[in-house]
Amino acid sequence: MTYNSIVILTGSGISAESGLKTFRDNGGLWEGHAMEDVATPEGFARDPELVHKFYNERRAQLKTVKPNAAHLALAFLEERFHGSVLLVTQNVDNLHQRAGSKNIIPMHGELKKKRHIHTSEVADCDEALDPKGLWRPHIVWFGEMPLEMSRISEALQKADLFISIGTSSTVYPAAGFVTEASHADTVELNLEPSHASIMFDRAIHGKATEIVPAFVKELLEEK
């Protein structure tokens, strides 16, 4: 089958081998914190100092990690594929961007951006945010609407291949994308079967730095 329009969804598993913690593999604790305390608007209202400290630490950590072979393979696919490639990531790190991917939708926001709490203006953010300031992390918390959902739905409708990489498929609406793309061929690349594995036409299990470059090679060799 020759594909023309690929949509890729990535989750924290694609960044695991770069040294960034995943959500699931820490017993549901997000870097030692309960999700409710650090990844909800209520948690932010309750304790802005804790939430800013949590995101300031993760933002600073980005300087110490780099993209891995899986991020680089996806950037290579976008560059060499004859059709369209849209990369939708649940991750808030900047590793896809640093790997060279261009057509990206960071649907859960970005550590390297901040949002004004009154005007909602979004701006670059390289340093620590001051809890007493007027900016919050530009991150989509639980209970908040992910970014660019209509653009994502449109792309899923048009796709003839949907690839899900490094996600446990526990977080919605991202976990529902495979259903929206059920008219397309659907492939899951993950360390182990996810909650949604049975929804996929094909599943390839292994470490992202091994299975993603191999799958990209297979895609680019297809005539």
Residues that bind ligand BV8 (CB under 6 A): 11-13, 16-17, 22-25, 39, 90-92, 108, 139-146, 166-168, 170-172, 190-192, 194, 207-208
Residue 90 vs 101, nearer CB to ligand BV8: 90
Please say which residue, 27 or 64, places its beta carbon nearer to ligand BV8: 27
Q: Please indicate whether residue 183 is annotated as part of the active site.
A: no
Nearer to ligand BV8, 155 or 196 (CB): 196
In whole angstroms, the minimum distance from the beta carbon of 132 to ligand BV8 comes to 21
The encoded tokens of residue 48 equal 């802005």
> Could you tell me the smallest distance in angstroms from the CB atom of residue 167 to ligand BV8?
3
Task: Give the integer Cα–Cα distance in Å for 207 and 190.
Answer: 7
Q: Which is nearer to ligand BV8, 5 or 135 (CB)?
A: 135
Tokens 């259903």 correspond to what residue?
A: 179
CB atoms within 10 A of CB 167: 28
Please spell the DSSP secondary structure of 144-200, one letter per residue: SPPTTHHHHHHHHHH-SEEEEES--S-STTGGGHHHHTTTSEEEEEESS--TTGGGS
> Could you say which of 108, 116, 138, 205 is catalytic?
108
Three-state SS sequence of 179-191: HHCCCCEEEEEEC
Query: Structure tokens of 162?
Result: 């949907």
CB 151, min distance to ligand BV8, A: 16
CB of 1 vs ligand BV8, minimal distance in Å: 24
Residues with active-site annotation: 108
